[in-house]
Amino acid sequence: MLRRYFCEFKSPTLLQRLRIATLFFLAFVFSYVLLNGALDSCQIRLPEYLLSSTDMLSSSLSFDSLSDRPDNSLETVLKKASMHDNTVILTTLNKAWANPDNSILDLFLASFKSSNQTSRLLNHLVIIALDQNAFAICKRLHTNCFALTTQGVDFSQEAYFMTPDYLKMMWRRIDFLRSVLEMGYNFLFTDADVMWFRDPFPHFYPDADFQIACDHYSGNSTDVETNIPNGGFSFVRSNVRSIEFYKYWYSSREVYPDMHDQDVLNNIKFDSIVTDINLKLRFLDTTYFGGFCEPSKDLNKVCTMHANCCVGLENKVHDLKIMLQDWNNFMGIPPSMRSELNLTWTPPINCSLALHRHLDLSEDIEQMMK
Ligand SMILES: *[C@@H]1O[C@H](CO)[C@@H](O)[C@H](O)[C@H]1NC(C)=O
Ligand SMILES: *[C@@H]1O[C@H](CO)[C@@H](O)[C@H](O)[C@H]1NC(C)=O
Ligand SMILES: *[C@@H]1O[C@H](CO)[C@@H](O)[C@H](O)[C@H]1NC(C)=O
Ligand SMILES: *[C@@H]1O[C@H](CO)[C@@H](O)[C@H](O)[C@H]1NC(C)=O
């Protein structure tokens, strides 16, 4: 989302705001673009046989009638996908991102298959489908799919920050991830526009509860003030601290009704919850977890690259294809020569052009980020 473009701006006031907001920001930024979906209180597990129905959200699909189908329950899906240490990889998907003609999902899955370090991780990936179409496409391409749909809300299209649907989605997502933690699963949340090239797990901090990738990494993995995190990629361990943290977040919805997340953020930013519960936060180095905002400078080290700092689905797909091609070219070089050649990424032309066009039209940068 637009907030991922923070690193592009050099305005001191903005950077100041960023610093202030950073800590809370990380909880709210989970994959804006992807999460066009959300929900209310009713979590529907959609069996495959119902997919032809045009009204999957009709009240006839009661929670009870579906939840007793064991193959579709969240517990079953997570259990099947989890690693020996109860870790799962989660991503969310809606119709717009699953569209076979121009698919972020195809690129995402292709990236996993582009290296034998990551292809095995596909077994641990659970795709959380936010609408009927995304669920059907997931079932065709992947084994671990879960339907998390929203009664009365259509999230199949690209959703935008600040809309009522967006708010519902945001809160529901926090609540959903909290429930995953409560079920005892650690999760690595990844947006589907993050390309996976190497196994990220060896690069996580063993002592952190909550670690998150950055649009801009300052060089200090513990510094809340100077890092600009991006919720499109985060690894959260299930424990009392992380669960408390997510609960606190979710509860702030009641404290600040009708506020969008930026406002909630500004209201809770001085809360001492993080210190009180002793949540251990870490920011991840862009050398390993890069993106269009701040590309990893070393293809010999990179684990993931995120299509952040990019406006528009088509531009994203266009530039991600080039990124995958860069990677495949790199993998085609004999291993002994890879480090000598100092290969770099092709600059993301369409993404940056679109971004700059977008920003030029804006009178107020802050408005743009919403
Ligand atoms: C693939 O994995 C094997 C071991 O499982 C390893 O020897 C080989 O170097 C890997 N290939 C690449 C391209 O990483
Ligand atoms: C990193 O940031 C933390 C928190 O701001 C600070 O305490 C620490 O001194 C910093 N480390 C370095 C090496 O600058
Ligand atoms: C790659 O970088 C190293 C060190 O920066 C340099 O010595 C070497 O000449 C470079 N190789 C090429 C092919 O540019
Ligand atoms: C990307 O940019 C190129 C060159 O500027 C242009 O020809 C092409 O149509 C663009 N593609 C998309 C998907 O916008």
Distance 96 CA to ligand 4 centre (A): 20
Q: Is 116 in the pocket of ligand 1 (CB under 6 A)?
A: yes
What pLDDT score does 35 carry? 35
pLDDT confidence tier of residue 55, bands split at 50, 70 and 90 = very low
pLDDT confidence tier of residue 329, bands split at 50, 70 and 90 = very high
Q: Is 123 in the pocket of ligand 2 (CB under 6 A)?
A: no
Phi and psi at residue 87, in whole multiples of 5°?
Answer: -105, 135
Ligand 2 mutation target, pool 20, 23, 220, most atoms within 8 A of CB: 220
What pLDDT score does 252 carry? 79
Question: Taken in order 166, 169, 175, 178, is the CA torsion positive or negative?
Answer: negative
* Mean pLDDT taken over the chain: 76
**pTM of the predicted model as reported, rounded to 2 decimal places:** 0.77
Q: Is 337 in the pocket of ligand 3 (CB under 6 A)?
A: no
Q: How many Å from the N-terminal Cα to the C-terminal Cα in the chain?
A: 9
What pLDDT score does 4 carry? 37
Helical (H) or strand (E) element with 281: strand 281-283
Burial class (CB in 10 A: 0-12, 13-18, 19+), 311: buried
Burial class (CB in 10 A: 0-12, 13-18, 19+), 164: exposed
- Going by alpha carbons, the residue nearest to atom 2 of ligand 4 is 350
| Residue whose structure tokens are 């700059």 | 356
pLDDT confidence tier of residue 164, bands split at 50, 70 and 90 = low
If one counts the domains in the chain, the total is 1
Ligand nearest to the CA of 331: 1
Region 108-116 average pLDDT: 93
Q: Check residues 51 and 26 and name the one with the higher pLDDT.
A: 26
Opening angle at CA 255, ends 251 and 257, nearest 5: 105
- Tens digits of per-residue pLDDT, 76-107? 999 999 999 999 999 999 888 898 877 899 99
pLDDT confidence tier of residue 150, bands split at 50, 70 and 90 = low
Which range in 43-52, 64-73, 312-321, 357-366 is most confidently predicted, on average pLDDT? 312-321
335: domain range?
Answer: 2-368
* Lowest mean pLDDT segment, chosen from 15-29, 73-87, 346-360: 15-29
Q: Which residue type sits at 4?
A: R
What pLDDT score does 156 carry? 58
Region 352-358 average pLDDT: 74
What pLDDT score does 195 carry? 98
Residues 6+ apart with CB under 8 A from 259: 267
Region 68-73 average pLDDT: 60
* Lowest mean pLDDT segment, chosen from 38-47, 108-117, 157-166, 275-284: 38-47
Region 36-50 average pLDDT: 29
What pLDDT score does 33 carry? 30
Q: Would you list the DSSP string of 91-160?
A: EEE-HHHH-GGG-HHHHHHHHHHTSTTTGGGGGGEEEEE-SHHHHHHHHHH-S-EEE-B-TT---SSPP-
Region 228-240 average pLDDT: 91
Region 196-207 average pLDDT: 97
Distance 350 CA to ligand 4 centre (A): 6
What pLDDT score does 180 carry? 97
As a residue count, the chain comes to: 370
Region 262-274 average pLDDT: 55
Distance 355 CA to ligand 1 centre (A): 38
Ligand 3 mutation target, pool 297, 298, 337, 340, most atoms within 8 A of CB: 340
Residues 6+ apart with CB under 8 A from 363: none
* Lowest mean pLDDT segment, chosen from 3-7, 202-206, 334-338: 3-7
* Lowest mean pLDDT segment, chosen from 17-21, 78-82, 352-356: 17-21
- Going by alpha carbons, the residue nearest to atom 9 of ligand 4 is 350
Burial class (CB in 10 A: 0-12, 13-18, 19+), 283: buried
Which range in 151-160, 247-256, 302-311 is most confidently predicted, on average pLDDT? 302-311
What pLDDT score does 27 carry? 40
* Lowest mean pLDDT segment, chosen from 170-184, 286-300, 321-335: 170-184
